[in-house]
Structure 1
Amino acid sequence: MAAKRSKGSQPAEPPRSAHEPALTRERIVTTAIELLDAHGVGGLTMRRLADQLGAGAMSLYWHVGNKEEVFDLALDTVLAYGGPAQAAGLSDWRGNVVHMLEDWRATMLRHPWSAALLPRRALGPNILGRLERLSQILSASGVPDAELNVAIWSLWNYVIGATATRASFALSQEDQAAAQQRLAQLSEHYPTIERSRLLLDSDWDGTFRKGLDVLLDGLARR
C-alpha cells in the first residue's frame, strides 16, 4: 500500500541517476507484462518489478496504487484490439466477429496469465472497447437487445474456456499416446471418446474455429 502523504507536504519523487530512464506508468506496465509472461501471476511482486526496473519498491507507488492496479493495467494493455474499422465490421458481421475472437484468443495464448486474470479483474477501457465493438456488430447484424447479453456472454465464455483449456492441456506426444492407450484398455467403459481419439486431437486452431462457427450459425438462425 502506498505511504500516506499529507496535503501540502508531498515530498519530491526519489532522485535518479542521470543515466537511469525515467520511471513512468508505461515502463512499469511494460515490465510487468514481461514478468507475467516469464513467471506467471504468482511470480509478479512489487519488489521483483522494482528490481527489474532498477528502482526502489516505494518509487512504484508514485505511479500505481498497488499490485492489483498493476494487474489491471497489464491485462487491459495486452487486450487492446486494433482490428478492422468499425464501419467495415458492420457490413460483414460474421467475418469481423471471427477476426475479433481469434485475435482475442491468440492474444491470451501469447500471454497465458491473462485468461486466469480476466474473469476477476476490473474491466479497463481496452476490454470494454472490445466488448462495445462486438456488441455493436452483433446488434447491427440483427441480434435483438433482449438477446444481446446472451450472445456476448456465450462468445466470451467460449473464448476464455477454449483458451484456458489450450493453455493448460499441453501434453507431449508421449503423454497423448499413453493416455490414448489407457483409453483403449478401458474402451468398454468409454467407447465413444476412445473411438473419436479425443486425447490425440491436437488441432486446437481448427477446433476453435469450428466451434465458433457452430455458435455463430446459431446466432444467425435466431
Structure 2
Amino acid sequence: MGAMTKRTARAEPLSRERIVRTAVELLDTAGARKLTFRALTERLATGPGAIYWHVANKDELLAAATDTVVADAVSVEPGAGDSPREAIRSVALGLYEATEAHPWLAAQLAEQFARRPWGSVAPRVFEALGRQVRALGVPESGWFTATSALMHYVFGVAGQNAANTDMAADLPEGETRTEFLEAASRAWEALDPEAYAFTRAVAGQLRDHDDRQQFLAGVDLVLAGIEASVPGAASA
C-alpha cells in the first residue's frame, strides 16, 4: 500500500510550480515555522535534491509561495464598466480575502516589502493598485504616495486580521468572537465618562461591526483623499 501511495504521489511530474503549490498547502496547515524541505520531501514523495534543483532555499520558497497567492489575489479583471475606484476596491478586497484564507500571508507580505522590494511581490501589488491610481487622474508626482497609502492600509488591516485570527485560536474553549467583542464592548462602556467619552460612544459599534465592511469603508476613505488630489476634483 505504501508503494502504491508513493507512486500516486509521484504521478504528477515534479516542477517548481508543484513544489510551490505544495508549500502553500503546508503553510496553510502548519505555518511558516513548520515549512521545511523535509516536510516537502515527505509530502511530494521525493528526495531533497530534486527540490533543491528547483528552489535554492526556504527564503526563496516563501517568496515564491507569497507571490503565487498574491498573483491570484490581484488578478481580478475589472468589468467593462468598472471605474478605477471599483477596480481598486476589487484588488484590495482580493488581497484582504487572501490574508484571511492564508493566515501566514500578512507576515510574509511585510517581510517581502521590507527586505525584498526588488522581488516579484512588491512590484506585483504596486502595479495592480498603481495602474488604477493613475487611471483616477492623480498627477504623476503623487502616484507613489497615493499607491503606498493604499497598500499600507491594506497590509495594516491584513496584519490586524492575522493577529485577530491568532487571538481567536487562543480563546477559552467555547468562547466565540461575538462573545469576545461583547465583553470588550461592555468594558469600553464602563470606562470613565469624562476621560473616555468618545470610546464609550462607539462601544456599540465595536460590538456589532463587520470586519469586511469596515475594511471596504476604510478603502473608500483612503480613495476619497486620493481623489481629492486630482486637479479639478474640488469643483467637480
The alignment's TM-score, normalised by the length of structure 1, stands at 0.82
Query: Following the alignment from structure 1 to structure 2, what is the Cα–Cα distance between the partners of residues 133 and 183?
Result: 39
State whether residues 26 and 35 of structure 2, in contact with CA within 8 Å, keep that contact through their aligned partners in structure 1. Answer: yes
> Which secondary structure does the structure 1 equivalent of 2:131 belong to?
helix
Higher mean alpha-carbon deviation, 91-100 vs 204-213, is at 91-100
Structure-2 separation of matches of 1:158 and 1:50 = 38
Q: Deviations over 1:85-126 (max 9, x none)?
A: 59x58x721111111111121122111211101122235546
Rounded to whole Å, the distance in 2 between the matches of 1:79 and 1:111 is: 11
Distance 2:162 2:208 in 1: 15
Change in 2 beyond 3 A, CA 1:18/1:216: closer
**Residue matched to 1:82:** 75
Counterpart in 2 of 1:214?
Answer: 221
- With over 3 angstroms needed to count, the CA separation of the structure-2 counterparts of 1:32 and 1:194, relative to structure 1, is same
Alignment match of 1:154 (pick from 141, 149, 154)? 149
Sort the Cα spacing of 1:173 and 1:136 in 2 relative to 1 into closer, same or farther, 3 A: closer
Match of 1:52 among 38, 43, 46: 43
* Pairing partner for 1:195 from 201, 206, 211: 201
Task: Among all aligned residue pairs of Structure 1 and Structure 2, give the percentage whose two residues are the same amino acid.
Answer: 32
**Within 2, Cα distance between the matches of 1:182 and 1:140?**
45
Aligned to 2:46, what secondary structure does the other structure show? coil
The alpha-carbon deviation at position 167 of structure 1 amounts to 2.6
Structure 2 residue matching 1:95: 3-state secondary structure? helix
- What secondary structure is seen at the aligned counterpart in 2 of 1:169? helix
Q: Is contact 2:190-2:200 (8 Å) kept?
A: no
TM norm structure 2: 0.77
Task: Give the C-alpha shift of residue 31 in structure 1.
Answer: 0.7
Aligned to 1:102: 93
- 1:205 is aligned to 2:212: yes
Asked if structure 2 preserves the Cα contact closer than 8 Å seen for 1:79 and 1:127, the reply is: no
Measured in 1, the distance between the counterparts of 2:128 and 2:206 equals 36
Secondary structure of 1:79's counterpart equals: helix
Gaps of 5+ in 1: 1-16
Are residues 160 and 126 of structure 1, via their aligned partners in 2, closer, same or farther at CA, if it must alter by over 3 Å?
closer
Residue correspondences, number: 204
Q: For residue 132 of structure 1, report the CA deviation from its aligned partner.
A: 1.8
Please show how residues 1-222 of structure 1 align to structure 2 within 5 Å: 20-21=10-11, 22-80=13-71, 81-84=74-77, 88=80, 92-121=83-112, 122=116, 124-125=119-120, 128-170=123-165, 171=168, 172-188=177-193, 189-197=195-203, 199-222=206-229
In 1: Cα distance, 2:153 partner to 2:31 partner: 23
* 1:153, distance to aligned residue in structure 2 (A): 0.8
The answer (yes or no) to whether the contact 1:30–1:74 under 8 Å persists in 2 is yes
